[in-house]
Amino acid sequence: MDSAAYLAISAHVVIDAAAAASVAALHGDANPVVAEDTSTVLAMLDERRDNLITQRTRLVNQLHALLRDLLPGGAETDLTAVAASSVLSGVRPVGPVKAAASSWPAIWWARSAMPIAASRR
């Protein structure tokens, strides 16, 4: 998201919040805002940390499953992002898949260029 779009979205959020607050204040049913105590903030941070750990574990397991399918013997168990990238860059298709993969860029280019050529007429 570019900065102009972000500013436009944040401006709408501020306007909406101000409108909601003024309506609540006029009707007398506004609740006071209280600062969260330290234990609540720490609980939120701990939950976020747990979610990030779970997401990372899921992604690493998916990467290992992919590498196990692509490489004989799979990959190392202590794989880093850089090592995974270098391992994946060395994977090349073989057999009938290789012929289809090698012609794919030309087919893609021909298909993507057709609408452009047609629209220039």
Question: How much is the pLDDT for 40?
Answer: 92
Q: Cα separation of 22 and 27, whole Å? A: 9
What's the CA angle centered on 59, arms 62 and 75, to 5 degrees? 50
Contact 67, 84 (CB under 8 A): yes
Instruction: Specify the pLDDT at position 45.
Output: 95
User: What's the mean per-residue pLDDT of the chain?
Assistant: 76
Residues 30 and 28: their CA atoms lie apart, in Å, by 6
pLDDT at 9: 67
Q: What is the pLDDT of residues 84-114, one digit of tens each?
A: 888 888 877 777 666 666 655 555 555 555 4
| 84, burial (CB in 10 Å: exposed 0-12, middle 13-18, buried 19+) | middle
Return the domain boundaries, the chain: 1-33, 36-90, 93-121
* Stretch 49-75: mean pLDDT: 87
One DSSP character per residue, 55-76 reads: HHHHHHHHHHHHHHHHSTT---
Q: What DSSP character marks residue 79?
A: -
Q: How confident is the model at residue 54 (pLDDT cuts 50, 70, 90)?
A: very high
pLDDT of residue 50: 96
Between 51 and 118, whose confidence is greater?
51
Rounded CA separation 67/63 (Å): 6
